[in-house]
């Protein structure tokens, strides 16, 4: 429904504004307007009544403490631009209860510049001033910090204190204007415990968006769910046992976050794999690599829900399976394609989880990959409307009964209690002319998983470490039970690990 039509209906009193105590926070990837065909999603495709908060993604950081506009032609009105910021904030004229926020950071922005900038009190002061000016100029109601991640990816331990200092300074100034201060943060304890002083985040942020997705993906060598509520039994006792929405939320609360400030992420997309064999098609089955790219997202290993539901509806080979342990579905199709994702049933279960645990609401990445056109026959924004009915309007109705196979397909039996080596690396997505964009994600650019981990390697610090002998090999180092642990990765052919960007890059651009 177009904004102009909605505005007319609202003025006539024919469109109601939902209200309630929970939030439905929707990230919008502005580069989605560059997608081809029916996947193109522009500001005017946003339904301003399906979310309580809309977050425009992303702006970048200038190292002197300023804000960088990522795509001036798309974002600004100057020089005959499309005025994305202005059109986005005009949605509040349609729904006056809507709040709009702009996000800074994202995976592709990295961490190193944020680490260097925000350890300097003068640059923090500059950033606070610039942020206020930016919000006032463009009409946003707040700022969302998506620094991925303090004390990781080239950052240092001082980042934890720097981030807290940044939040305090922003909070002090934002209170003068009534601005919101939020953030997108890592979900799993293994990651967030390295990055945040959780009580300080809870003190200064209005709400905290937990990125409870990207728990598994094609950076691993076996299939796994993108955003499970619970882990599968085969993951118990491995490093993956904390990779679920339930484990993440409980860990955040255990570290001192008030439940009502936690907004649980729900992925409106899935992570896809190419299976190694048709004889093993369940969770934890061997894979050859990333799943085939979809026609709209055009990113290997990632499919929007609009692409997934279209496959389910139109591909005769598609078999959808409900995983009773993880409480999410997966689908096998095209002989060797596997995708784990959220559907209406799992979204409804996540609504019940949010309500049962007194959380602040749900966050989605991202509104532009829901079935916004209704092409799958379930109405427009089917996943978001499940969240809206349950969290804004106050009732989910009856949780949808599974319409899929209830028993999982053959699953590889675990032979060890130690998880296989995995990457935390997602492909970089070209979002439009001259820009790249990726969602808030637990995962950096294309690699392959190494089959063996040398026992002699010694981590130098938490985060990404390049091999001292081979520039195409790097390690993700983390601390578990007081000791360094690591996973080993190899860049795809022709690429080397770039220490300045913490990602694989063309060999000519890397100092090896």
Strand partners, 303: 270
148 is catalytic: yes
Provide the CA 414 distance to its chain's centre, in angstroms: 29
Q: What sign does the dihedral 221-419-263-479 (CA atoms) show?
A: negative
H/E stretch holding 147 reads none
CA dihedral 503, 154, 213, 490 (to 10 degrees): 30
Among 83, 70, 151, 78, smallest CA distance to 118 is for 151
Count of Cβ atoms closer than 10 Å to residue 135 Cβ? 21
Catalytic option among 44, 78, 148, 469: 148
Query: How far is it between the farthest Cα atoms of the chain?
Result: 71
214 cis-preceded (ω within 30 degrees of 0): no
Q: What are the φ and ψ backbone dihedral angles of 384, each rounded to 5 degrees?
A: -65, -35
Provide the CA 422 distance to its chain's centre, in angstroms: 18
H/E stretch holding 190 reads helix 189-195
- CA 78/CA 267 separation, integer angstroms: 34
322 cis-preceded (ω within 30 degrees of 0): no
Provide the angle, in degrees to the nearest 10, between the axes of the packed helices 121-138 and 158-174.
Answer: 40
**Strand residues in 50-166 grouped as ranges (E):** 53-61, 67-69, 99-105, 142-146
- The encoded tokens of residue 70 equal 């990522």
Strand partners, 146: 105
- CA 77/CA 72 separation, integer angstroms: 8
- CA 228/CA 258 separation, integer angstroms: 22
383 burial class (0-12, 13-18, 19+ CB within 10 angstroms)? Answer: buried
- The encoded tokens of residue 504 equal 């694989």
Q: What sign does the dihedral 10-16-21-25 (CA atoms) show?
A: negative
296 DSSP assignment? T
Among 152, 154, 150, 134, smallest CA distance to 142 is for 134
Residue 192 Cα distances to 211, 242, 461, angstroms: 11, 12, 16
| Catalytic residue list | 148
């Amino acid at each position: 429904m177009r904004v102009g039509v909605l505005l007319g209906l609202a003025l006539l009193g024919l469109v109601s504004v939902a209200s309630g105590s929970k939030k439905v926070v929707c990230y919008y990837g502005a580069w989605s307007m560059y997608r081809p065909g029916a996947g193109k999603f522009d500001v005017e495709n946003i339904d301003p009544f399906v979310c309580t908060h809309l977050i425009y993604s992303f702006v970048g950081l200038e190292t002197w403490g300023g804000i960088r506009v990522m795509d001036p032609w798309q974002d600004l009105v100057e020089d005959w631009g499309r005025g994305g910021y202005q059109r986005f904030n005009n949605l509040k004229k349609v729904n006056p209860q809507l709040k709009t926020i702009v996000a800074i950071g994202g995976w592709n922005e990295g961490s190193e510049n944020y680490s260097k900038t925000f350890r300097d009190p003068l640059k923090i002061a500059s950033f606070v001033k610039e942020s206020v000016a930016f919000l006032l100029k463009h009409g946003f109601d707040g700022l969302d910090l998506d620094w991925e991640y303090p004390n990781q990816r080239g950052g240092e331990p001082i980042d934890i204190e720097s981030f807290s200092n940044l939040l305090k300074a922003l909070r002090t100034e934002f209170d003068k204007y009534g601005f919101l201060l939020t953030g997108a943060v890592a979900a799993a304890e293994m990651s967030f415990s390295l990055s945040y002083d959780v009580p300080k985040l809870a003190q200064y942020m209005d709400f905290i968006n937990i990125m409870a997705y990207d728990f598994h993906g094609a950076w691993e060598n076996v299939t796994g769910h993108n955003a499970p509520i619970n882990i599968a039994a085969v993951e118990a006792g491995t490093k993956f046992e904390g990779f679920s929405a339930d484990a993440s939320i409980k860990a955040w609360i255990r570290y001192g976050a008030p439940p009502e400030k936690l907004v649980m992420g729900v992925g409106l997309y899935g992570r896809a794999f190419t299976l190694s064999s048709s004889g093993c098609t369940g969770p934890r089955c061997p894979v050859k690599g990333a799943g085939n790219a979809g026609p709209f997202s055009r990113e290997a290993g990632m499919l929007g829900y609009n692409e997934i539901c279209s496959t389910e509806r139109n591909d005769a080979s598609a078999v959808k399976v409900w995983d009773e342990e993880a409480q999410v579905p997966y689908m096998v199709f095209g002989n060797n394609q596997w995708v784990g994702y959220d559907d209406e049933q799992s979204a409804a279960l996540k609504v019940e989880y949010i309500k049962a645990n007194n959380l602040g609401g749900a966050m989605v990445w991202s509104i532009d990959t829901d079935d916004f056109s209704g092409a799958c026959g379930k109405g427009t924004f089917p996943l978001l409307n499940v969240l809206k009915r349950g969290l804004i309007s106050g009732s989910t109705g009856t949780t949808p009964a599974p319409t899929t196979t209830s028993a999982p397909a053959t699953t590889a039996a675990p032979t060890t209690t130690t998880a296989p080596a995995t990457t935390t690396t997602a492909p970089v997505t070209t979002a439009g002319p001259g820009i790249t964009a990726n969602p808030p994600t637990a995962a950096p650019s294309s690699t392959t998983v190494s089959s063996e981990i040398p026992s002699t390697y010694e981590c130098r610090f938490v985060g990404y470490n390049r091999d001292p002998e081979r520039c195409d090999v790097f390690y993700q180092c983390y601390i578990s039970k007081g000791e360094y642990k690591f996973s080993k990765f190899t860049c795809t052919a022709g690429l080397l690990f770039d220490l300045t960007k913490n990602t694989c890059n063309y060999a000519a651009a890397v100092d090896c």
